[in-house]
Chains A and B, each alone.
Chain A
Amino acid sequence: MADTIIFQSKPAREAPIKTEGLVPWVKTNLFANWQSTVTTLVVGALLLYYVPQFINWAILTATTTTNADACRADGVGACWGVVKEKYRLIIFGRYPFEEQWRPLVATLLMVGLLVASCTRYFWSKWLIIGWVVVLSAFFILMYGSLFGYFDVFGLTKVTTDRWGGLPLTIMLATLSIVLCFPVAICVALGRRSNLPAIRTFCTIYVELIRGVPLISVLFMASFMFPLFMPQGVTVDVLIRVVVGVTLFAAAYMAEVIRGGLQAMPKGQTEAAASLGLSYWQTQFKIILPQALAMVVPGIMNNFIGLFKDTSLVYIVSLYELTGSLGLALNSDADWRPYKLEGYLFIVSIYFVFCFAMSRYSLWIEKQLNKSKLR
């Protein structure tokens, strides 16, 4: 018994070379070897040269006075006064000044529901009802009534030609993405149908739309649409554009959904068939709920794309953000020279929205992956 070797665990020691903390980080990330060191020095020098210049222009020597003459003085950098002076016009376009709380409330409602729609927790029948209510509320607030009804709230009418700015941008994107959904689902199912005529139609539709730029669809909506309608029927340009953008978005959305459908294992359809479910029951109860959940990130990316693409309606003379900036500055000789600052303002609006959305979509993607691993 005496010669039993007693095992003694050695105490843990600290690593001789530290890999965590600020100094090791700088060492491995900035000065790991001579190539890295040279890169760091060159890039760092460039940054040190340009960044202070930019800060100088954008902050240190910038003015925020709403007086264009102050901007013209020597040595003055960015002239943010232009934003201070014009922001209501840029954000709300030509919407009557005293009524601008209406687009504000309407837009907030819409954005709120949009966020909710992307969360699994809220997925139910109520969401569809919620959309109907919110869209009606949006139009009642913006227009003053809904197709002539509901003008009980005593709101003054504001015709669509005065709508503009950020609410218009958000409305165009949201409305198109919501409306394109039913179309996209049908087209996606149609492309996978085993009926050749229907499959061909859907394929042609998708390829046709995806082959042409949005601007040509918008041209169609504004120049050709009036010709399509029967004599005497006129359709508001806003509606025409929404129809155009919706049909455009539907083709892209259909492809995203089709991706989800294709990823569904065949066993799901077979199991549904063996239980006696019909085609539509199978699609709506079994296939689509799973396929759509799978492609939420794709749908979000589509939405971000659409949100940016709405800036194109400026070319067919609707005053969304980009257009309303032109509206605010082009005819004002005092402020016109400071358009760059105006651009930077709407760039930051777009950036905040799109960046937030892309982060959100990444987060959802992570959630999805987690639930797959469960």
Chain B
Amino acid sequence: MAVAPRTPPKKRDWSWRSQAFRGLLYQVIAVLLIGGVVWWLASNTAENMRIRGIKSGFDFLTQPAGFDIGESLFSFDSNNPYWKAFLVGIGNTLRVAIIGIILTTILGTMVGVGRFSRNGLVRGICYGYVELFRNVPVLLQLLMWYLIFTELLPDISEAKNIGPVFLSKGGLTYPGPVWESGHLWILGGLIAGAAAAWAYRRWATTQFEATGKLRSMFWVPLIIVLLAGAAGWVAGGMPNQWQIPTKGEFAIEGGSSLTPEFLAVLFGLVLYTAAFVAEVVRSGIQSVPRGQSEAAQALGLAKGQEMQKVLLPQALRVIIPPMTNQYLNLTKNSSLAVAIGYPDVVSISNTALNQTGRAVECIAIIMLVYLTTSLSTSFFMNWYNSKSAIKER
């Protein structure tokens, strides 16, 4: 007796008083209003630029930059064009952001877990750390580190050292490997090892499902990767040349080094963001109801299994979204490097802006760089969240 399923008709009555019409009207008004404001601003800008004789356009990007940059991932001099200068800036931003994110995660997780330590001293220190560092502006922290690294450390000639690692006003100098083509083999070995480890995990999982025999899912793959890397190193002819820095009269020679600017930005960002990450980790752990752990224990799961199969998956769902936010915050805060002269994309743009007067273009470049990073991250996160959300009614 059920009527065969029909699909709804497409109809809208377009009377003056219909909701549909009103909705359209409001939207048209909004579009006109916003369009009008934008047009007004744009025409003012065009007019002002005409009167003040400001040129516009991105043609300046191909002209020589005319300034040097203190540190760069690739060689750069003042004859290189602007676009290359911007690339240097983007590279520097990414460098400090990526290293910062890794260190922040490690430190923040340690502090966050430390808030649950059985040891009262550790708990107290973690609490104090979080409260102290998150309640002071990050810019102030950057400036303080910069002051410490450039004025309070000893001069280069009296650099402090632990073995071959030197610390002074000139930055941090440490032994670095002499790069040879042989090192590429290590990389190749690691990649091959990762593939093998992945294959092993697949095999172990199917074996476990078929026979119930448990195999290590962490240590064995790790050892596979490390062994493969070592094999690559041997295959590459065992390159083992290191550049050891030595203290000269006026400078520390040889080795790899980090500038005080880089160190100040890195310390400032990491210590500040880690305080927030610690809170994220703490609330993630707290968000898993006690009953979950008790239920897992009642089912007889081992401590490690309980953590890996029950607690972590739930805590991570809570942790990951705000954690990504903190990563983005760190990246955006790296723009404060401009205050102490670390040549990130903002300070390069700032210099370019002052030299060429192309305010609109230079600010647009800054915004574009950060927007790309943020939006692509948040698209990825949305996809990830919808994939990992616990299905509910």
Report if A314 contacts B (CB, 8 A): yes
Q: A228-B44, A315-B338, A347-B136 are in contact. Are A219 and B143 (CB under 8 A)?
A: no
Stretch at the interface among A191-199, A268-276, A282-290: A191-199
Report if B386 contacts A (CB, 8 A): no
Q: A29-B118, A227-B359 are in contact. Are A213 and B139 (CB under 8 A)?
A: no
Interface of A is mostly: helix
Residues of A contacting B280 with CB < 8 Å?
A: none
Shortest Cβ distance from A201 into B: residue:
B34
Nearest chain A CB to B248 CB, angstrom units: 27
Tell me whether B363 and A29 are in contact (CB under 8 A).
no
Complex CA–CA separation, A47 to B119 (angstroms): 15
Report if B238 contacts A (CB, 8 A): no
Nearest chain B CB to A298 CB, angstrom units: 13
Complex CA–CA separation, A8 to B117 (angstroms): 44
Tell me whether A227 and B45 are in contact (CB under 8 A).
yes
Report if B147 contacts A (CB, 8 A): yes
Stretch at the interface among B222-230, B254-262, B300-308, B368-376: B368-376
Tell me whether B366 and A216 are in contact (CB under 8 A).
yes
Report if A30 contacts B (CB, 8 A): yes
Stretch at the interface among B10-18, B63-71, B188-196, B328-336: B328-336
Q: A29-B118, A32-B118 are in contact. Are A322 and B370 (CB under 8 A)?
A: no
Contact residues, B20-42 vs A (CB, 8 A) = 23, 26-27, 30-31, 34, 41
Q: Which residues of A are at the interface with B, using a C-beta cutoff of 8 A? A: 25, 28-30, 32-33, 36, 39-40, 43-44, 47, 194-198, 201, 207-208, 210-216, 219-220, 223-224, 226-231, 304, 308-309, 311-312, 314-315, 322, 337, 339-340, 343, 346-347, 350-351, 354-355, 358
Report if B77 contacts A (CB, 8 A): no
Nearest chain B CB to A71 CB, angstrom units: 14
A–B Cβ pairs within 8 angstroms, 25 of them:
A29-B121, A30-B121, A39-B117, A39-B121, A195-B23, A211-B374, A212-B370, A213-B346, A215-B335, A219-B353, A219-B363, A223-B359, A223-B363, A227-B359, A231-B47, A308-B135, A309-B137, A312-B336, A314-B139, A314-B339, A315-B139, A322-B137, A340-B147, A347-B140, A354-B135
Complex CA–CA separation, A213 to B345 (angstroms): 12
Complex CA–CA separation, A39 to B126 (angstroms): 14
Tell me whether A322 and B336 are in contact (CB under 8 A).
no
Q: A39-B121, A195-B23, A228-B44 are in contact. Are A354 and B136 (CB under 8 A)?
A: yes
Interface of B is mostly: helix
Report if B120 contacts A (CB, 8 A): yes
Tell me whether A198 and B30 are in contact (CB under 8 A).
yes
Shortest Cβ distance from A32 into B: residue:
B118
Report if B199 contacts A (CB, 8 A): no
Tell me whether B335 and A216 are in contact (CB under 8 A).
yes
Complex CA–CA separation, A343 to B264 (angstroms): 15
Tell me whether B140 and A340 are in contact (CB under 8 A).
no
Nearest chain B CB to A354 CB, angstrom units: 4
Tell me whether B144 and A343 are in contact (CB under 8 A).
yes
Tell me whether A198 and B26 are in contact (CB under 8 A).
yes
For the complex of A and B, 3 pairs with smallest distance between CB atoms: A29-B120, A211-B374, A354-B135
Nearest chain A CB to B363 CB, angstrom units: 5
Q: A197-B30, A210-B374 are in contact. Are A322 and B140 (CB under 8 A)?
A: yes
Complex CA–CA separation, A352 to B339 (angstroms): 24
Tell me whether A213 and B353 are in contact (CB under 8 A).
no
Q: How many residues of B contact A (CB 8 A)?
A: 56
Report if B122 contacts A (CB, 8 A): yes
Contact residues, B152-176 vs A (CB, 8 A) = 152
Shortest Cβ distance from B325 into A: residue:
A210
Residues of B contacting A312 with CB < 8 Å?
A: 139, 336
Residues of B contacting A223 with CB < 8 Å?
A: 353, 359, 363
Shortest Cβ distance from B121 into A: residue:
A43
Residues of A contacting B117 with CB < 8 Å?
A: 39
Nearest chain B CB to A213 CB, angstrom units: 4
Residues of A contacting B44 with CB < 8 Å?
A: 227-231
Q: A211-B375, A227-B360, A231-B47 are in contact. Are A201 and B137 (CB under 8 A)?
A: no
Shortest Cβ distance from B377 into A: residue:
A211
Residues of B contacting A308 with CB < 8 Å?
A: 135-138
Nearest chain B CB to A346 CB, angstrom units: 7
Residues of B contacting A309 with CB < 8 Å?
A: 137
